[in-house]
Amino acid sequence: MTMQISDKVDVDYVPVEAEPLHKQRWRSETVRLVAVDFPPHTKCLYHQHLKYGVYLVVTPMNMMEYPHGEEPRPLVHEKGSVFCRDHTKDKLIHSAATLDKPAFLIEIELLKEKADVMPNGHLPLHPGIKNFKNDPECRVYGFELQNDDQAEIALNLPTEAVLVALDDCEVEITKALSDKQEDTTHQVVLKVGDDVQLLAGKFKIKFVSSASKKAQFHLVEVY
């Protein structure tokens, strides 16, 4: 596909779904999760984003971004950073390139049409954990679990969510069921950037182990 806007130079581009470094991990009716993994000194194809994107920076990022029709700009973020871009508005066409370090981030692409997004203004924020982003489309949280009195967190999710690990770790995830059913517990080994889909409901996430005796996580609630 080739695009020309006024006097801007033509550029060949593909939909983001066809860009080789943007690898879809899974897709539901409301979310498409993409692992974006760049080796050093690598530039991706020009591609277009059309959905609202939540970007979770899993490793330190030092890249150059090449938006079509604009000057190149640095794309620099620390591990654990979060940024969101509403591509339903900007219809972004761009490329990006790493310098001497690799880059790894998770993109959570929100698939709902704007008219179908549930209003979340009446929903309270989760107490005791950092809120990175509070938009109508989603809320993004960050928290850390470690091998002490901060080994467990309880969440009451009003909607579906995605949990992403920023460190290698093992956790125990318990979902509270009805009074007539026993709670379900799963022990999960997570590598950096691995994710867990969570449906609405009450959960406990308990730290089990990691090499550094602590682990960071992002939680993205999707409305």
* Residue 6, pLDDT score: 40
Residue 87 contacts by C-beta under 8 Å, 6 or more apart in sequence?
Answer: 49, 50, 51, 52, 53
One domain for residues 38 and 78? yes
DSSP secondary structure letters along 15-65: EGGG-TTEEEEEE-SSEEEEEEEE-TT-BPPPEE--SEEEEEE-S-EEEEE
Residue 119 lies in a domain: no
* Residue 180, pLDDT score: 63
24-72 residue pLDDT tens: 999 999 999 999 999 999 999 999 999 999 999 999 999 999 999 999 9
One domain for residues 73 and 134? no
Residue predicted with more confidence, 118 or 178: 118
For the cut 80, the answer to whether the pLDDT of residue 19 exceeds it is yes
Distances from the Cα of 141 to the Cαs of 18, 71, 104, 144, in angstroms? 29, 32, 19, 11
**CB contact at 8 A, 192 and 167:** yes
For the cut 50, the answer to whether the pLDDT of residue 211 exceeds it is yes
One domain for residues 34 and 106? yes
**What is the CA 129 to chain-centroid distance, rounded?**
17
Domain boundary among 81, 110, 139: 110
If pLDDT is split at 50, 70 and 90, which confidence band does 179 have? Answer: low
Domain boundary among 78, 110, 142: 110
Rounded Cα distance between 133 and 213, Å, is 27
CATH of the domain at 131: 2.60.120.10
Residue 115 lies in a domain: no
- β-strands 47-48, 14-15: how paired? parallel
92-102 residue pLDDT tens: 999 999 999 99
For the cut 80, the answer to whether the pLDDT of residue 178 exceeds it is no
99-158 residue pLDDT tens: 999 999 999 999 999 889 988 988 999 988 999 999 999 999 999 999 887 799 999 999
Rounded Cα distance between 68 and 101, Å, is 24
Residue 102 lies in a domain: yes
Residue 94 lies in a domain: yes
One domain for residues 172 and 144? yes
Total domain count, the chain: 2
Residues above pLDDT 70, as percent of the chain: 94
**Token representation of residue 82:** 């979060």
One domain for residues 73 and 157? no
Domain boundary among 55, 78, 110: 110
One domain for residues 42 and 12? yes
The residue segments making up the domain with residue 17 are 2-110
One domain for residues 6 and 98? yes
One domain for residues 33 and 101? yes
* Residue position matching structure tokens 């050093």: 40
One domain for residues 106 and 166? no
**Token representation of residue 47:** 């591609």
C-alpha triplet 78, 79, 82: angle, nearest 5°: 80
